[in-house]
Amino acid sequence: MSVPDYMQCAEDHQTVLVVVQPFGIVPEDHFFKIYKRIASVSQVSIRDSQRILYIRYRHHYLPENNEWGDFQTHRKVVGLIAITTCTSAKDWPQTAERFHGQKEVYSSTLYDSRCLVFGLQGEIAEQQRTDMAFYPSFDECSDVERRVEDFVESIFIVLESKRLDRATDKSGDKTPLLCVPFEKKDFVGLDTDSRHYKKRCQGRMRKHVGDLCLQAGMLQDALVHYHMAVELLRGVNDHLWLGAALEGLCSASVISHYPGGTGGKLLGRKPSISQTTDAGKRHRPGALTTNGISADTSTEIGRAKNCLSPEDIIEKYKEAISYYGKYKNAGVIELEACVKAVRVLAIQKRAREASEFLQNAVYINLGQLSEEEKIQRYSILSELYELIGFHRKSAFFKRVAAMQCVAPTIPEPGWRACYKLLLETLPGYSLSLDPKDFNKGTHRGWAAVQMRLLHELVYASRRMGNPGLSVRHLSFLLQTMLDFLSDQEKKEVTQSLENYSSKCPGGMEVITLSAELKLPPVPFTKLPIVRSVKLLNLPVSLRPHKVKGLLGQNVSTASPFIYSPIIMHSRGEERCKKIDFQWVQGDVCEVQLMVYNPMPYELRVENMGLLTSGVQFESLPAALSLPAESGLYPVTLVGVPRTAGNITVNGYHTSVFGVTSDCLLEDLPAVKTSGCLVEVIPSLPRLQLATSLPSRFVCVFLSSSVSVQLFNGETQQLTITLENIGCEDIETLEVTSKVVNTKEKVFSNFLSWKLEEALSHLPLKPGLTVTLTVSIQVKLDFSGQENLLQDLNDDGISVTGLPICSPLRQVLKPRPETKPISNDSGKLEYSHIKVNKHESKLDMILNSSLQFLVCGIKSNLGSASVDDCIFTKKEHQVILPSSCNPIEVQSNVIGMHRYRYQYQYLHRY
């Protein structure tokens, strides 16, 4: 016997073997449909008996294995069910002849046979035959299961008769010697009259009867026969059959202890009634009396000692396997015994001892095996190691089986089978194809082995002709194993990835391999690594401000309850995420990322942009080129919200090495962020100002300055041109002024204007202008102000040109908290006050600002709402001299500047 049955388990010893085979023209799907129905009849309760007959079906069985039927009766083919098609009566003789020819293959062991004929109708089909069953079609065969049950009962009748024949053999001392195929030549010329030979014959026959009893559902009788066979065979050193008797004893004890089965496929098996009823009954008289064996077997060995304990079962299995190991031709028997013992140990949860049996099975030499048999052997070893919880060992043998699928000796390597087996090894190496599993903590498993396995998956998928799978596995390797790759390995992997992605670009779609297995997308969150994400406020001149007079409109949205824990909880969560500034629809918004390039060479990131939700958002992609191991590097991603509402920045997208990635912030717990939710308000008007006075550039706040010199009491007209450079109408215009850094002790507001003319042009359409005339009139009153200069100095007003002989000089004394700086040769300086002997004028520089408030009004579904507005400011700086000196008035105007993304914006005025 050269082909082992790796699916065997201990309870198979009590089954009878039935082969189901097709002949003629039978569609494969129809055959397996009928085969499945036949196999559903796995046990039959015998009528007029308390016993159950168990059946094991096979659709392929080598005749040479049938030759070992005397050694272990469950290996003997005792039933044959042939399935064929016959459409006409003239083809029936040939069909019947072929059926008889098929029976000849197993004729030496067959108890009974049946032939199921499909498609034949007429006179022949109406004949009543026990060995034939005729059906019009494969869909019209409702009584297949019933016919199979009748067939099994006929097998039981033959089985029981053979058991009784063996038990009541009348051949005197001439008990036939049962042999395995390779033993027949060894017994030629032996003395058949010797005592040693007779004991050998008796021991083997006793073991054979035990097998028949076990198959016939007489468990206790089988245990007795096995015990007696062990004693007889041990006395004559018949090691091969002694091992078989010990294995039979173990199988019967396993069936007694574990009626649910050990193979996992017979969980619905019912315990045999004879297990309980035989214990209290005596065996029927007349068993092997002429061979020196007492008919009353229950008196030879006590019932309590018949069944082995769970610990003894394993010890007997070890002993049986050691006896099998003495025979080169019994390798298959030894291997199958190891498999059975492992299944029992798995039920007993003794994994370490089970691994010893499997380790022994690995080194059993079965001769020259085909590549398919090697694949099957390694696959079964993998399943058994998985059964006992040795997951990594299981993955190892499954990987060996995968490599065997593409062995050089195979003319057509099975790369698909190899790839499928490699995928099944992933759990054993603590490897998941979902990149999210690698963000949950420390790395699990051996990284070197995992990288080797991923490389094999890439190679197998490439040989399958699927570059998309290669790109996905390479992306996964680079993303999850980046910390374990050397610099050279990083370069090789990225080069391979670029090569594969040029043929099939990688994306974020899910790759479906089967209904149960899908490959999730692999975003490159480490190329580059993002450390922090920060949403930036708009530039100063573009930031919206609430109109105070309109705050009451939102009162209705507040909760009517004084306190609600649910509402407060939700608001608290919103505060944790929502940012306290606003973005404006149509304005360019910025998000700053701090990124890091972990690669040992320059990293090019293409098409990097923002992923948002909530409002329509136009992302403006950017391209980066990060130097090798750059450290933290700021990157600003921009975009334009096209609608109003709450926008959430969910992450960013990139394109690296030809692979597109969508990186979500929720999958990056290590990324620091101050919040990702911001309110986008509707579009606002934009106002640009120009003055009639000459300007000079000032670096502060990107502003330009205009100035005018005036005498005290003089008036100057300043013309300001207002232009709507936005896309919204300006509906409202308000102008206010404020004197900066003064307590109005010397002068009042010196700016005045009339808005009626400008307001008459409202609403101001985009692109139109309107002018506003501002009067600058300086009126200073120096009377009664003894501490004038000191107060002006405290207010931040620059005072210069005070002569020593001036009457006001007497007033300028330092305050208690102010110390004099120096006193040198007729020149006295106090803090913020400069004194010059050679000038006799008093100049004062004062600041004032103009604020322009513009609003746009939109109607929505019949209700009016006022958008947030932009404050525009125009700052003036005024020099106030004494009544005999000129006054210099300076105005600071922040002008228009072009934003770096080619969008014009109004800054602060």
- Per DSSP, the three-state class of 170 is coil
Beta carbons within 8 Å of 662's beta carbon, 6+ residues apart: 508, 521, 523, 611, 651, 653
Kindly report the CA angle at 907 between 535 and 744, in degrees rounded to 5? 115
Per the prediction, the chain carries an average pLDDT of 78
Q: What is the secondary structure of 595-664 as a DSSP string?
A: EE--SSS-EEEEEEEEEEESS-EEEE-EEEEEPTT--SEEEEEEEEE-S-EEEEEEEEEEEETTEEEEEE
User: E strand or H helix at 113, and its extent?
Assistant: strand 112-118
pLDDT band at 827 (very low <50, low <70, confident <90, very high): very low
User: E strand or H helix at 459, and its extent?
Assistant: helix 447-463
With 80 as the cut, is the pLDDT of residue 798 above it? no
Least confident of 67-71, 290-294, 445-449, 682-686: 290-294
pLDDT digit string, tens, across residues 49-77: 889 999 999 999 988 888 899 999 999 99
Separation CA 551–CA 868 (nearest Å): 10
Helices (H) and strands (E) in the chain, counts: 21, 36
Question: Between 752 and 700, where is the model more confident?
Answer: 752
Q: What is the secondary structure of 780-847 as a DSSP string?
A: ---TT-TTHHHHHHHTT-EEE---TTSGGGGG----TT----EEETTEEEBTTB---TT----EEEEE
Q: What is the pTM assigned to this prediction?
A: 0.73
**pLDDT number for residue 562:** 57
Residue type at 773 in one-letter notation: T
What's the DSSP call for residue 730? B
Separation CA 82–CA 113 (nearest Å): 8
CB 658 within 8 A of CB 498: yes
**pLDDT number for residue 737:** 76
Separation CA 445–CA 866 (nearest Å): 61
Span 217-230, average pLDDT: 94
Question: Between 234 and 687, where is the model more confident?
Answer: 234
The encoded tokens of residue 728 equal: 């919204």
With 50 as the cut, is the pLDDT of residue 749 above it? yes
Span 721-726, average pLDDT: 83
**pLDDT number for residue 741:** 53
CB 81 within 8 A of CB 65: no
Write the CA distances from 713 to 337, 407, 882, 883, 885, integer angstroms: 120, 106, 10, 8, 11
pLDDT band at 758 (very low <50, low <70, confident <90, very high): confident
Length of the chain: 909
With b meaning 16 or more CB within 10 Å and e meaning fewer, what string describes 533-550?
A: bbbeebbebbbbeebeee
pLDDT digit string, tens, across residues 322-351: 999 999 989 999 999 999 999 999 999 999
Question: Between 168 and 474, where is the model more confident?
Answer: 474
CB 708 within 8 A of CB 890: yes
Question: Between 708 and 584, where is the model more confident?
Answer: 584
Helices (H), 236-302: 239-257, 274-277
Least Cα distance to 777 among 754, 756, 800, 747 occurs for: 747
Write the CA distances from 267 to 223, 271, 328, 350, integer angstroms: 23, 11, 35, 20
The beta-carbon contacts of 512-517 under 8 Å, at least 24 apart in sequence, are 513/423, 517/423
- Per DSSP, the three-state class of 166 is helix
Least Cα distance to 354 among 324, 407, 390 occurs for: 390
With 80 as the cut, is the pLDDT of residue 300 above it? no
CB 629 within 8 A of CB 597: yes
pLDDT digit string, tens, across residues 771-782: 888 888 777 665
With 80 as the cut, is the pLDDT of residue 783 above it? no
With 70 as the cut, is the pLDDT of residue 199 above it? yes
CB 730 within 8 A of CB 764: yes
Tell me whether strands 843-855 and 798-800 are parallel, antiparallel or unpaired. Answer: antiparallel
- Per DSSP, the three-state class of 903 is coil
- Per DSSP, the three-state class of 860 is strand
Least confident of 48-57, 162-171, 419-428: 162-171
Question: Between 367 and 507, where is the model more confident?
Answer: 507
Q: 526: which strand partners?
A: 529
What's the DSSP call for residue 7? T
Percent of the chain with pLDDT over 90: 49
Which residue in the block uniquely carries the two structure tokens 């570059």? 467
**pLDDT number for residue 193:** 81
Separation CA 394–CA 396 (nearest Å): 5
pLDDT band at 548 (very low <50, low <70, confident <90, very high): low
Torsions phi, psi of 98, nearest 5?
-65, -35
What's the DSSP call for residue 486? -
**pLDDT number for residue 64:** 87
Span 261-266, average pLDDT: 68
Q: 481: which strand partners?
A: none
Percent of the chain with pLDDT over 70: 74
Which residue in the block uniquely carries the two structure tokens 């000191």? 790
Question: How many CB atoms lie under 10 A from the CB of residue 99?
Answer: 20
Q: 618: which strand partners?
A: 640
pLDDT digit string, tens, across residues 378-393: 999 999 999 999 999 9
Span 110-131, average pLDDT: 88
With 50 as the cut, is the pLDDT of residue 234 above it? yes
**pLDDT number for residue 865:** 28
Write the CA distances from 291 to 168, 220, 295, 306, 379, integer angstroms: 9, 21, 10, 22, 46
pLDDT digit string, tens, across residues 307-318: 999 999 999 999
Q: Which of the listed ranges 237-241, 288-292, 691-695 does the model predict with the highest average pLDDT?
A: 237-241
Separation CA 528–CA 550 (nearest Å): 46
Kindly report the CA angle at 418 between 336 and 340, in degrees rounded to 5? 15
The encoded tokens of residue 43 equal: 């046990």
Separation CA 371–CA 404 (nearest Å): 7
Question: How many CB atoms lie under 10 A from the CB of residue 368?
Answer: 7
With 50 as the cut, is the pLDDT of residue 638 above it? yes
- Per DSSP, the three-state class of 38 is helix
Separation CA 315–CA 55 (nearest Å): 28
3-state helix, strand, coil in the chain (%, to 5): 40, 25, 40
User: E strand or H helix at 501, and its extent?
Assistant: helix 487-503
Which residue in the block uniquely carries the two structure tokens 């502060």? 700
The encoded tokens of residue 211 equal: 């097998």
**pLDDT number for residue 729:** 83
Separation CA 317–CA 324 (nearest Å): 10
With 70 as the cut, is the pLDDT of residue 718 above it? yes
CB 253 within 8 A of CB 1: no
Separation CA 753–CA 718 (nearest Å): 10
Span 26-40, average pLDDT: 94
Which residue in the block uniquely carries the two structure tokens 């044959």? 80
Q: 519: which strand partners?
A: 511
Question: Between 424 and 881, where is the model more confident?
Answer: 424
Question: Between 610 and 193, where is the model more confident?
Answer: 610
Separation CA 842–CA 517 (nearest Å): 89
**pLDDT number for residue 736:** 79
Span 713-720, average pLDDT: 81
Question: Between 19 and 172, where is the model more confident?
Answer: 19
CB 889 within 8 A of CB 774: no
The answer to whether the peptide bond before residue 528 is cis (omega within 30 degrees of 0) is yes
Question: How many CB atoms lie under 10 A from the CB of residue 115?
Answer: 23
Span 629-648, average pLDDT: 91
CB 614 within 8 A of CB 664: no
CB 892 within 8 A of CB 900: no
**pLDDT number for residue 294:** 37
Write the CA distances from 636 to 146, 517, 524, 628, 652, integer angstroms: 77, 39, 19, 19, 11
The answer to whether the peptide bond before residue 411 is cis (omega within 30 degrees of 0) is no
